[in-house]
């Protein structure tokens, strides 16, 4: 059996919350006892609403944040407390692409300095070597080498994201984390960047973790999906299982409520109601019980345990079998006109080679 390249075991992260004078200190648990594995060559998507803890989990996996509890393993070696030269080596092998291409590039640095910085920091390349490598990296992400002397403000959003990707590739990473890598871009540009990431993944044999709330992007990019709610994973399965037959009521509602809803979900599926509860004081029992249409007294009192089904699929819900016994909840309907239009847009944009 293939061994995971990256693994989290019972990972938790608590942040200090806002406090009032003389009031006891409060904590927000952004990630709560999460366990997952990422296998070589796959793309794992971590999906959830804002405040679900998905970005924090991504940063914990890359050791950009230290865990409060739990352990992280990379290629079988524990890296939870890695420091010094080991941490520097991890920084080279585990890279991140940030959400906002407008904020993630230093406006005072040229593209050559931005992309060449990790080469100077981690590989002590000479200036001439760096210039050659930067030209190669720009060509890899579809930008002319002559643009290396330009500054970030001279580029469009999609081009800036390509510069961020070139920087992430500079030191030859093994795993890329995309933290909402296309959510700040126009839909047509999103498709081009998604297509680029897919090509790079195959070209360099990369493993990818994609943190996103855009379900269309996830469907196009991922092999498996972990669905997060208030710091916990409530369902994890292959991308087809998640979109064609979601088991957890939150996954079902999330997909049904998406603007580009996957057409396979019957309109009988209840839409997502209400807001995410305050992560500083999550509901007792099942955390989704305040918004779940199937809630019972047991849900209010007892936290569901994660059940691992055949094939490795996971779901945390007391009533998932009962809820899904009525298959009308997960019937496959023909694609809607909106879905077909969106898919055509993706295919057209992906076939374009320049931004
Ligand atoms: Fe809904 Fe209960 Fe399942 Fe939670 S455990 S998702 S409240 S049915």
- Nearest CA owner, ligand 1 atom 6: 317
Cα distance between residue 242 and residue 239, in whole Å: 5
Q: Is the CB of 64 under 6 A from ligand 1?
A: no
Strands 94-97 and 69-74: unpaired
Instruction: Ligand 1 pocket test: pick from 234, 274, 317 the residue with the most ligand atoms within 8 Å of its Cβ.
Output: 317
Q: Transcribe 178-210 into DSSP letters.
A: EESTTTTS-HHHHHHHHHHHHHHHHHHT-EEEE
Instruction: Ligand 1 pocket test: pick from 274, 289, 302, 329 the residue with the most ligand atoms within 8 Å of its Cβ.
Output: 289
Instruction: Provide the residue count of the chain.
Output: 355
Beta strand ranges found along the chain (DSSP E): 6-16, 27-38, 43-47, 69-74, 77-78, 94-97, 175-179, 207-212, 224-229, 232-238, 307-308, 314-315
- Higher-scoring residue by pLDDT: 1, 100: 100
- Higher-scoring residue by pLDDT: 336, 172: 172
DSSP state of 215: H
Choose the weakest-confidence range: 5-19, 104-118, 243-257, 263-277: 263-277
3-state secondary structure at position 212: strand
pLDDT in tens, 122-145: 777 888 888 999 999 999 999 999
pLDDT in tens, 332-347: 344 445 445 545 554 5
Q: Is the CB of 294 under 6 A from ligand 1?
A: yes
* Percentage, residues of the chain above pLDDT 70: 87
Q: What is the pTM of this model?
A: 0.86
* Percentage, residues of the chain above pLDDT 90: 63
Q: Is the CB of 304 under 6 A from ligand 1?
A: yes
Q: 96: Cβ–Cβ under 8 A, 6 or more apart, which residues?
A: 58, 59, 62, 64, 168, 176, 177, 178, 179
How many other β-carbons are positioned within 10 Å of the β-carbon of residue 155?
20
Ligand 1 centre and the CA of 287: distance in Å?
8
């Amino acid at each position: 059996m293939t061994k995971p390249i990256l693994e989290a075991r019972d990972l938790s992260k608590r942040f200090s919350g806002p406090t009032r004078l003389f009031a006891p200190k409060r904590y927000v648990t952004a990630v709560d006892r999460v366990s997952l594995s990422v296998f070589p060559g796959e793309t794992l998507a971590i999906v959830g609403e804002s405040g679900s803890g998905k970005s924090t989990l991504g940063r914990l996996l890359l050791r950009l944040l230290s865990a409060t509890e739990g352990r992280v393993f990379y290629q079988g070696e524990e890296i939870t407390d890695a420091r010094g030269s080991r941490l520097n080596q991890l920084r080279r092998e585990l890279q991140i692409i940030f959400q906002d291409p407008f904020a993630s590039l230093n406006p005072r640095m040229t593209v050559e300095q931005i992309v060449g910085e990790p080469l100077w920091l981690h590989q002590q390349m000479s200036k001439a070597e760096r210039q050659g490598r930067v030209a190669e990296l720009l060509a890899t992400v579809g930008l002319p080498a002559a643009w290396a002397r330009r500054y970030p403000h001279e580029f469009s959003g999609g081009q800036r994201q390509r510069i961020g990707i070139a920087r992430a590739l500079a030191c030859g990473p093994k795993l890329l984390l995309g933290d909402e890598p296309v959510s700040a871009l126009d839909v047509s540009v999103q498709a081009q960047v998604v297509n680029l990431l897919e090509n790079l993944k195959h070209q360099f044999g990369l493993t990818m973790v994609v943190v996103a709330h855009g379900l269309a992007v996830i469907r196009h990019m991922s092999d498996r999906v972990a669905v997060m709610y208030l710091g916990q994973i409530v369902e994890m399965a292959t991308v087809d299982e998640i979109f064609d037959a979601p088991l957890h009521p939150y996954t079902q509602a999330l997909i049904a409520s998406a603007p580009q809803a996957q057409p396979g979900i019957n309109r009988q599926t209840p839409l997502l109601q209400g807001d995410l509860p305050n992560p500083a004081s999550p509901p007792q029992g099942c955390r989704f019980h305040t918004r779940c249409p199937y809630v019972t007294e047991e849900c209010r009192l007892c936290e569901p345990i994660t059940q691992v089904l055949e094939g490795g699929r996971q779901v945390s819900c007391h009533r998932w079998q009962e809820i899904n016994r009525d298959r009308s909840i997960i019937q496959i309907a023909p694609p809607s006109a909106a879905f077909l239009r969106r898919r055509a847009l993706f295919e057209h944009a992906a076939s374009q080679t320049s931004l």
